[in-house]
Amino acid sequence: MQAFYFVMLCVISFFALVFPNGFFCLADDTNRETGSLCDKADKNPVNEDTFQTNLKTLLDSLASNVVDSHGFYQTIVGKKPNRLYGTILCRGDISANNCFNCVLNSTRVSSNDCPKSRDVTIWFRWCFLRYSNESFFGDMQGTATAITNETDIDDPSLVSQGLSFMSGVAAAASEKSFMFHTEVLNFNQSEKRYGMTQCTRDISRKDCRRCLDAQLVNFETFIGNKRRWEVHGLNCFMWYDDYQFYSNVSTLLSASWRLSSCRSLVSGITVVVSAALLIVF
């Protein structure tokens, strides 16, 4: 009986240790959908069954390959005229698990919100999904959406420095191997701004730079005087804020960027519990 109590205590304290704030495998800051674009679906689409079959294959393939390919994957499914082109990109600082889950969530949103559309873009904070029946790989496009808080006006003395800082963060991303960059702007001891930029890795470095620069110019009046903003495009992305919203290192670069399984954790607990039983008996 005593042994039984000991084991129960062991199990409870182990869970308390491993799951201090709920479930272990979910962490980081919060993710959410930030926008979507679906072209109008045909009223009488041709080959709808083939399209749906190909779409399912495409989305499955994007989800199952995104982690192995360090957060960026493109694939083509099916034969013309039913061919589909798909791209997935995860934000460069998030964990492999969050990347994978974000991809699953974005494919779920696309299936719910744009079930028959042949050209779909889904933006999440942590990942970006696009597919189309027309080829778009390597072809830099300027479409973008900006998110900010209208009332979140920054100190005018900081605005122009902030914009030129982001221009530098844009230039740096285009030169990085994963076209992803983060940087801190220190106005003074207490006042800092954090910038992050990323491009899809199918475009050239020159186009990455052009894409980000164009966003800064096009949205200047909208974001220019703001303290925090995000711009989500089809080939490039920018984030600006007054706190460190990203992880310190680019996780994409690390060799250990892979899915950590909750199942191995559970079997770890079982091993610990069994070991405890062995010791007691």
Interface pick for ligand NAG out of 151, 221, 256, 264 (rule CB under 6 A): 151
Q: How far is the CB of 204 from ligand NAG (least distance, A)?
A: 24
Interaction pattern, residues 240-279, with ligand NAG; x per rule: CB under 6 A: --------x-------------------------------
Interface pick for ligand NAG out of 74, 101, 148, 200 (rule CB under 6 A): 101
Read out DSSP for 191-220?
-EEEEEEEE-TTS-HHHHHHHHHHHHHHTH
Q: Is 189 in the site for ligand NAG (CB under 6 A)?
A: yes
Interaction pattern, residues 7-26, with ligand NAG; x per rule: CB under 6 A: -------------------x
Question: Do 188 and 180 touch, CB atoms closer than 8 A?
Answer: no
Question: Do 67 and 104 touch, CB atoms closer than 8 A?
Answer: no
Rounded to 5°, the CA angle 133-53-130 comes to 40
Distance (Å, rounded) from C-alpha 62 to C-alpha 107?
Answer: 9
Q: How far is the CB of 1 from ligand NAG (least distance, A)?
A: 40
- Enter the tokens of residue 230: 């995000």
Interaction pattern, residues 68-87, with ligand NAG; x per rule: CB under 6 A: -------------x------
Question: Do 238 and 211 touch, CB atoms closer than 8 A?
Answer: no
Which residue, 8 or 41, is less far from ligand NAG as judged by CB?
41
Contacting range for ligand NAG; rule: CB under 6 A; set: 17-25, 84-92, 146-154, 172-180: 146-154
Interface pick for ligand NAG out of 121, 133, 200, 215 (rule CB under 6 A): 133
Which residue, 133 or 198, is less far from ligand NAG as judged by CB?
133
Distance (Å, rounded) from C-alpha 218 to C-alpha 121?
Answer: 20
Contacting range for ligand NAG; rule: CB under 6 A; set: 96-104, 199-207, 208-216, 258-266: 96-104
Distance (Å, rounded) from C-alpha 178 to C-alpha 199?
Answer: 8
Distance (Å, rounded) from C-alpha 238 to C-alpha 77?
Answer: 30
